[in-house]
Each structure stands twice: as structure tokens, then as C-alpha cells.
Amino acid sequence: MSLDFLPQIDPAKCIGCELCVKLCPNSVLAMVDHIAVVSAPEACEYTGTCQEICPTLAISLTYEIIFKKKKKGGSSQRTNV
């Protein structure tokens, strides 16, 4: 997975339950000071398990949507979601 697109963990929402760490199939996450962090970004294949299992919705994946140019002089737009 591109290092630009990794799970984002909101430390204000993370309650330190460790579910994401225990269930990540690639051992990407770890606990630091009772907060989940991405400790092995190069191993992330983003299966979505961490996001789905998080009881406080502290994990999300930000991605970019690219709109292609219109054929008649339109311009492309980028939007982060």
C-alpha cells in the first residue's frame, strides 16, 4: 500500500482497547502510551479490519478523489475525503 494512504488514528478517540492491534492481519499497529499507532506502515495492505472493529471510530482512511477533465475545456479537481 502507498505510504500516502495509511489508516489515520485519532488519539483523542482511541480508548486503548487494543482490538485493532490484535486483529490486524499484518501486525501493522502497536500500542504506544495506551494509544494505537501505525508502527509498520510498509506492511499495511489496508484490509479495513482495524477501522471496522474500532468501537470509538478512531480509525479512518483518508483518500483522494480525482475528477478527470471534461472534454470541453474543463479542469480537474482533487478532493480529500
Cβ(6)–Cβ(46) below 8 Å: yes
Q: Supply 26's cell numbers.
A: 499484518
Each residue's pLDDT tens digit, 6-59: 899 999 999 999 999 999 999 999 999 999 999 999 999 989 999 999 999 999
Each residue's pLDDT tens digit, 30-40: 999 999 999 99
Is 49 inside any structural domain?
Answer: yes
CA-based Rg of the chain, rounded to a whole angstrom? 16
Cβ(55)–Cβ(65) below 8 Å: no
CA distance 31 to 45: 19
User: What CATH number does residue 57 fall under?
Assistant: 3.30.70.20
Sign of torsion, CA 48 52 53 55?
Answer: positive
Is 2 inside any structural domain?
Answer: no
Domain span holding position 75: 7-80
Predicted TM-score (pTM) of this structure: 0.71
